[in-house]
Chain A
Amino acid sequence: MTPLRRRSKAGGEIEIHMKILHGTRRSKPKGRNGDLSRGLLLKLELPSDPSLLCAVRGAVERLTESFGFSAPDCRAVTRAVDEALTNIIRHSYNGRPDRPIEMLFRSVHDAATPKASEGLEILLCDRGPSIKRAQLCMRELEEVRPGGLGLHFIQQSMDIVEYKRANGTNRLRLVKYVRAPKQGVNS
């Protein structure tokens, strides 16, 4: 895994560990409960530093472009990942910039449809405290007030949004199919 070093706003040096796996795409997409390495396209390990969000957006933009998403869908997936990371930094880690975040990007197929749709699955894992159900509720958009929009952006951008807690890890699973109808939020 190649470390990408850069200066944080605080002046320290931080690293993003990036592993790009060429040639795995479309070869062995993972099943819903398959092992985590199948269909793996990209793995990122980074600290919860907001100054790294820009770098992650850049990586996701390139990945979604190469995956074959339309320009609006590339922006949608990038926005969802950015908002999910922002939520982890703000709510799971209370703004601490040195906590671990792991991201896995995988190619998946929707086996439920007659003509299986190819999709991009993104798993975001953090070691913060368990997320309370109330924190997953979205506010009404009719209210004109700051805050509370991140979950809306994630929900509106992705086909599947699932949250699970296992072995002390919060795992948010996002899936976007190249062409697919929208589904609801499950947790």
Chain B
Amino acid sequence: MQISRRQLDKTTILDLSGDIDLANSPAVRKALLKELRDNRTPRVVMNLSNVRYIDSSGVASLVEGLKAARDVGSRFILFGLSTSAREVLQLSRLLKIFEVYDNEEQALAA
């Protein structure tokens, strides 16, 4: 799992690659909460285009990020979900809770 960060004005884009499972969901959670709670970034966009698999611990990290965003008045946006990632959010009935877009252009325009 690799996490890199891009800054575009008041938006931070987190580019993730690899699977998000028990081994690395803590790193995802840490990066997300640092952006939202510590840096108070107004809009955090997570690029999941290169993430093939997300498990329940990964979903939990995303939910924590969403809650942190709501707490500090930021937006947390996802884009580029794989079929598998979309399925787990559907199974957990969370797909409609998140702001989800197909690609970066749409996510940034939202």
Contact = CB atoms under 8 A, between A and B. Distances in A.
Interface of A: 9, 50-51, 53-54, 57, 72, 75, 79, 82-83, 86, 89-90, 141-142, 144-147, 149-150, 152-153, 156
Interface of B: 19, 21-23, 53, 55-57, 59-61, 63-64, 66-67, 83-84, 87-88, 91-94, 97
Given A144-B94, A146-B60, A79 B88 contact: yes
The 7 closest A-B pairs by CB, nearest first: A146-B60, A50-B23, A149-B56, A50-B22, A150-B56, A146-B63, A86-B22
Contact of A50 (B21, B83, B93): B21
Given A75-B83, A146-B64, A149-B59, 10 more contacts: A54-B19, A57-B53, A79-B84, A82-B55, A83-B55, A147-B60, A149-B91, A150-B56, A152-B56, A152-B92
Contacts of A83: 55-56
Contacts of B87: 72, 75, 79
A153 B85 CA distance: 12
A86 B97 contact: no
Contacts of B63: 144-146
Contacts of B19: 54, 57
B96 to A, nearest CB: 11
A152 B92 CA distance: 8
A172 to B, nearest CB: 16
A86 B21 contact: yes
Contacts of B97: 144
28 contacts: A50-B22, A53-B22, A53-B55, A54-B23, A57-B19, A57-B53, A72-B87, A75-B83, A83-B55, A83-B56, A86-B22, A86-B55, A86-B56, A86-B57, A90-B22, A142-B93, A144-B66, A144-B67, A144-B94, A144-B97, A145-B63, A147-B56, A147-B60, A150-B56, A152-B56, A152-B91, A153-B55, A153-B92
